[in-house]
Amino acid sequence: MAARNSNLQGVDLCFSYTKERVILKDVNFTFRSGEVVCILGPNGAGKTTLLNCMANLARVDSGEILLNGENIVKIPPRKVARLIGFVPQLIVPSFDFTVLDYVVTGCAPHLGILSRPKEEHYDIAREAIARMGIDKLTDKSYSQISGGERQQVSIARALAQRPDFILMDEPTAHLDYGNQIKVLETIGSLKEEGFGVILTTHNPDHALLLQDKVAILDRQGVLTSGLSTDVLESAFLTALYGTPLKVVYEEKLGRKVCAAPQF
Amino acid sequence: MQTFRSYKAVIIFLIVATLGAAVIALCVGRFSFVPSEAFRAIVDHFRGGGENEAMENVIFVLRLPRIFGAILIGACLALSGAVYQSVFRNPLVSPDILGVSSGASVGAALSIIVGGSIFFRQISAFAVGLLAVTISVAIPKIMKNSSTLMLVLSGTIVNGFMSSLCTLLKFVADEETQLSTIIYWQMGSVASVKTDTLLAVLPVFVGGAVILLLLSWQLNIISFGESEARTLGVNLKVIRTLTIAVASMMTASAVCISGTIGWIGLVIPHLGRLLVGSDNTKMLPCAMLMGGLFLLLIDTVARTATALEIPLSILTGVIGAPIYAWLLWKQKAKVT
């Protein structure tokens, strides 16, 4: 696989829906491929908005998002799509496509507008499906698989896209606990393969489990980023979510965990 | 799904069935003959006229243009319907949703009242049909809302307006002559299809079909949703505008020569998906063939079943609606 070496930078980003609803206020960040970044924040803080700005789905009011130093809004969308893959929260398809037909759409940025996927692209799609360990779903209908399987299929599609960054909007939402951990495990291995993974999550413990960067968006639109083990502390999280939370080192697990104390 | 494997078989079957149906359609009617006679008449015709001039006339002036017309119009309506459904991400959409048909009705009614040739009527239907779609597309632009839902609502507005205009025209039309012509036009017929009218719309049919088939895989992508398409680098605006424009042009050119024919654009794409799956690269060619075959069969029944020709929309509805009900029943688990 080609070496992934991209960076995604935010410079003085501002975004607001109304004057009272400021989502981003002079937000700065630099993320690189090979990193996992968890975007945390209370409900309504605008985690998804921030992710959408990075995916070029929403426009910032001021400031620039730079992909390898170039303003993302000035790069042709197909070129952006070759570097940034997006895993949406949940899609409800109107038509009954097979998993393979869905995953192969990941090859779109590598194909001309009038062309259609050839055998080599189906091979790439099959490879991505195999990478996710869901070979048995290949010819199944997308509408007849479970939520957890759909999440894996969506990640497979992002892999078929062969980007440097994969953005995931709450990849653990709608999943049972076991599937949540499995998705996090996958994210960890994607990092090992050199992908940059940026995800939003409601669970600070996920950030501790992934042991890499966090970026925390508060209700004032301020983004704090750093290593999860440094930034995520009891007092900080308690203030962020407005409810008592504790971060403790658990020897049996060999890591810091975040949990709520007994009421 | 095993159905996907048999794509080639389905296509071959449909082509053979259409050819078979065309031979039957050529030979049955007020003047019936056996296929070998028809074949000999065709050969004679190209050799410079045979002994049976009446038969050659029936074949070349009446039946062949009508057969080609039915196949082309059916294919065109089914293809447009399938494309509309993908673009709007809604299997309940038909090509009428942006007002092509109701606009064309107004155009046709207007020309019938003003008086003019059939050619003028076709031009008028085509023009007002496209005008209606243009208004439907313009309203969301004015409201600066590019969601498909807004487009659907805008289409509802235009459809409602055009239907009222059409009713107004019927109201002022001469009861004895014009009113019945308008009503018959709205029931749909390919009886008046002639070689020259076919040649006039053929470029739109062929050009449109080529463009839509070339974009069929892009239609797959946009049928998954707007953000899906955009994060894959697809230029949603271009694809959506182009496909809607082409599909509307095709529908307008079909409707302007045949009048409004319901149900084909709605039902045939569903049958296509049932046969070869939702992948538009396979489904669109399949829907075209099925639409052509379906309308050819309907038209043949329409002109042979009774002494009087049955208007097409009656038959497409009587046959299409139960098929649609059956399809919904078959996929009841998936409709929510």
Question: Comparing C-alpha atoms, which of B127, B118, B110 is closest to residue B197?
Answer: B118
- Tell me, yes or no, whether B335 lies in a domain: no
Question: Comparing C-alpha atoms, which of A122, A120, A103, A137 is closest to residue B220?
Answer: A103
Exposed, middle or buried: residue B1 (CB in 10 Å: 0-12, 13-18, 19+)?
A: exposed
DSSP B218: H
Give B-chain residues touching A93 at CB under 8 angstroms.
Answer: 223-224
Give A-chain residues touching B230 at CB under 8 angstroms.
Answer: 56-57, 77
pLDDT at A138: 95
Closest-approach residue (CA) in chain B for A100:
B279
Is A176 an interface residue toward B (CB < 8 Å)?
no
pLDDT at B336 over 60: no
For residue B38, give the CATH number of its domain: 1.10.3470.10
Contact call for B278 and A95, based on CB within 8 A: yes
Contact call for A101 and B278, based on CB within 8 A: yes
- Tell me, yes or no, whether A132 lies in a domain: yes
Phi-psi region of A26 (alpha: psi -120 to 50; beta: other; left: phi over 0): left
- Specify the higher pLDDT residue, A148 or B204: B204
Give A-chain residues touching B217 at CB under 8 angstroms.
Answer: 111, 115-117
Considering CB atoms only, which of A82, A88, A113 is closest to B228? A88
Tokens representing residue B5 in the block:
């494997």
pLDDT at B148: 79
Q: Which candidate in B232, B239, B280, B332 is best for mutational testing of the A interface (most A CBs within 10 A)? A: B232
Confidence of residue B3 (pLDDT cuts 50, 70, 90): very low
Considering CB atoms only, which of A55, A85, A105 is closest to B224? A105
Tokens representing residue B164 in the block:
């009222």
Q: DSSP states of B13-40 as a string?
A: HHHHHHHHHHHHHHH-SSS---HHHHHH
Question: Comparing C-alpha atoms, which of A147, A155, A146 is closest to residue A184?
Answer: A155
CA-to-CA distance for B124 and B110, rounded, in angstroms? 8
- Tell me, yes or no, whether A1 lies in a domain: no
At CB < 8 Å, which residues of chain B contact A? 1, 4, 85-86, 89-91, 214-218, 220-221, 223-225, 227-228, 230-235, 239, 273, 277-279, 281, 334
- Tell me, yes or no, whether B334 lies in a domain: no
Closest-approach residue (CA) in chain B for A56:
B231
Contact call for A139 and B1, based on CB within 8 A: yes
Rounded (5°) CA angle A66-A67-A73: 65
Is A138 an interface residue toward B (CB < 8 Å)?
no
| CA Rg value for chain B | 20
- Tell me, yes or no, whether A88 lies in a domain: yes
**Is B156 within 8 Å of B126 (Cβ atoms)?**
no
pLDDT at A3: 67
Q: Give tens-digit pLDDT for B294-335.
A: 999 999 999 999 888 999 999 999 999 999 888 888 776 555
| CA Rg value for chain A | 19
Is A49 an interface residue toward B (CB < 8 Å)?
no
Considering CB atoms only, which of B217, B233, B273 is closest to A117? B217
Q: Give tens-digit pLDDT for B41-74.
A: 888 888 876 677 888 888 888 999 999 999 999 9
**Is A33 within 8 Å of A209 (Cβ atoms)?**
no
Total count of domains within chain B: 1
pLDDT at B37: 86
For residue A15, give the CATH number of its domain: 3.40.50.300
**Is B286 within 8 Å of B272 (Cβ atoms)?**
yes
Averaged pLDDT score across all residues of chain B: 90
Contact call for A81 and B231, based on CB within 8 A: yes
Give A-chain residues touching B278 at CB under 8 angstroms.
Answer: 95-97, 101
Residues B92-114 have a mean pLDDT of 91
Contact call for B231 and A55, based on CB within 8 A: yes
State the smallest CA–CA distance between residue A48 and chain B in angstroms.
13
The ipTM of this complex is 0.90
pLDDT at A163: 96
The residue range of the domain holding B208 is 2-329
Residues B220-226 have a mean pLDDT of 91
Total count of domains within chain A: 1
State the smallest CA–CA distance between residue A31 and chain B in angstroms.
19
Contact call for B217 and A94, based on CB within 8 A: no
Is A91 an interface residue toward B (CB < 8 Å)?
yes
The residue range of the domain holding A133 is 7-259
Contact call for A101 and B1, based on CB within 8 A: no
Residues B172-189 have a mean pLDDT of 91
pLDDT in tens, chain A (263 residues): 456 889 999 999 999 988 888 899 999 999 999 999 999 999 888 999 999 999 999 999 999 999 999 999 999 999 999 999 999 987 777 888 999 999 999 999 999 888 899 999 999 999 999 999 999 999 999 988 988 899 899 999 999 999 999 999 999 988 889 989 999 999 999 999 999 999 999 999 999 999 999 999 998 999 999 999 999 999 999 999 999 999 999 999 999 999 999 98
pLDDT at B332: 64
pTM: 0.91
Contact call for A77 and B278, based on CB within 8 A: no
- Tell me, yes or no, whether A46 lies in a domain: yes
CA-to-CA distance for A249 and A262, rounded, in angstroms? 17
Q: Which residues pair with A215 in a beta bridge?
A: A39, A225
